[in-house]
Amino acid sequence: MNLRDDAKAFVDGELEASRLAEIQTAMESDADLRGDIEAMRALGFELRRTAVEHEVKGAEKALGRFGSSKKRNFFLEAFVCCVVLGVVGAITFPVFAQSKESAKKTQAMTEANMRESDSQMKAEGGESVADGLASGRSASPSRSESRLFSPGEPTYFDDTRGRPNVLAPDLIRTAVLNVLVKDAPTAMTEAMGIAKRMGGYHQNSRSTKTQYATSISEVTLRVPVGRFDMSLDALRKLGEVTEDSSDSQDVTAEIADVGARLKVLRAEEESYVTMLRAGKKVGEILEIKDRLSSVRQQIESLTAQQKALKDQSSYSTISCTFNERPKVAEVKPSEGWTDDAWANAVNGLKSVGRFLGQAVIFIFVYSPIWLPVLIVGWFISRRMRA
């Protein structure tokens, strides 16, 4: 086979080692072959460089088509449901009265057991995890809980089963919580404690005093996405919730897209590096270097984007604002009716004095109006008497 027929495969690295060596040897002496290979390389480079990158549309719609449930066979499921209902009905109907009786017994036994275990826990000085979280004291978690909250290790678990959910969508979950509390800085400290116990951390915090002598504390918490709902529940228990909103954004497709783009860009980077090594003309080398640096910039930007998305989807953000209840001025109880009467009289005298003072000032200020009228009146009355 003619060596030139393999020029394109040589450029693409799709040749066997022996054929590759053969062409490399031939290239040293055959200038035409070298020209062919250079032309193929330049052409391929240009085709890849000028490829149109269409903006992707409809990813959400496509994801929505595959809801999170198993593939269903409607007729089979309907048939199985009918059979199960029939069997259950046939068994339970005749013995319904008996079952009811035994259910009551079971319930009574369960309640007795719960009471017993509760008193046992109290005797040991423990408390339930949820209560502990709400009160801000360190709860004594169960063995499985303590395994989940291993220190320094981010936890990402399925809420319902407590095991990693590899197929769960990547969600960015955020919540805003406004809580009315007695003491805002203390509530903020408790909130930070909750985040820490949930395997998260506080991103930033701020406390300010208002003109009414109350405090406002704001804190941004980051908690593992699997513990988001539990954290919110615990935070809600810190006071009276005045605003509660949450939002989630599915970024599964975005993360996958960024990953795919990175893969393509890294392959492109590799091919540029190979071309740079083989390049001979200065202009060509400079051009390739230019594009290589542009590709590397894109890779860096996408890597940062990927990292940010992963961080946002593995740790949810909760913005909490703790407002203190407005403090009502304290009224001291009166010591007796005489004191009240004295205080009222003094206050009354002050008011009369204030009124008289104001009247004198008014009379003085308006004197240019009333004084000439008074003088003229006095003069006329005097003439008339005369």
Partner 1 sequence: MDNLAKLAAQGHRDAMRRIVAEHYASVYRFCARRLGADLAEDAAQETFIMAYRTINRYDPACALRSWLFGIGLNICRNMARKQRVEVDIDNLWSLESASPTEAQIVDNDLLRDALKGLSPDHLDVVILHELEGLTYEEAGMVLGIPTGTVKSRLHEAFKKLRTAMVSEVAK
Give me the residues that bind partner 1 (CB under 8 A), please: 5-9, 12, 14, 39-40, 42-48, 50-59, 61-63, 65-72, 167-169, 252-253, 255-257, 259-261, 264, 267, 283-284, 287
Helix (H, G, I), strand (E, B), or coil: what is residue 48?
A: helix
* Nearest distance from C-beta of residue 229 to partner 1, angstroms: 20
CB of 136 to partner 1, least distance (A): 37
Distance of closest approach, residue 12 Cβ to partner 1, in angstroms: 7
Please state the closest distance from residue 282 (CB atom) to partner 1, in A. 11
Question: Do residues 167 and 67 make contact, with C-beta atoms less than 8 angstroms apart?
Answer: no
Q: Select 218 or 287, whichever has its Cβ closest to partner 1.
A: 287
Phi first, then psi, for residue 368 (nearest 5°) are: -60, -20
Report the SS3 class of residue 248: strand
Smaller CB distance to partner 1: residue 181 or 275? 275
Under DSSP, is residue 180 helix (H, G, I), strand (E, B) or coil?
A: strand
Residue 164 or 372: the one with the smaller Cβ distance to partner 1 is 164
Rounded to a whole number of angstroms, the minimum distance from the CB of residue 170 to partner 1 is 8
- Compute the least distance from the CB of residue 306 to partner 1, in Å: 14
Please, which residues bridge with residue 205 across strands? 219
Closest CB to partner 1 among residues 6, 324 = 6
Is the CB of residue 177 less than 8 Å from the CB of residue 241?
yes
CA distance 235 to 244: 11
Quick one: 109 or 264, whose CB is closer to partner 1? Answer: 264
Beta carbons of 241 and 179 less than 8 angstroms apart:
yes
* Interior angle at CA 372, CA 366 and CA 373, nearest 5: 90
Q: Alpha carbon of 218 to those of 239, 300, 321, 328: distances in Å? A: 14, 34, 4, 23
Q: Which residues of 4-20 are buried (b: 16+ CB within 10 A; e: fewer)?
A: bebbbebbeeebeeeee
CB count, 10 Å around CB of 199?
23
> For residues 29 and 68, which CB has a smaller minimum distance to partner 1 in the complex?
68
Q: Using the CB atoms, write b or e for 154-176: b if 16+ within 10 Å.
A: bbbbeeeeeeeeeebebbbbbbe
Residue 255 C-beta: closest distance to partner 1, Å: 8
Comparison of 48 and 350: residue with beta carbon closer to partner 1: 48
CB of 223 to partner 1, least distance (A): 24
Question: CB-wise, 78 or 363, nearer to partner 1?
Answer: 78
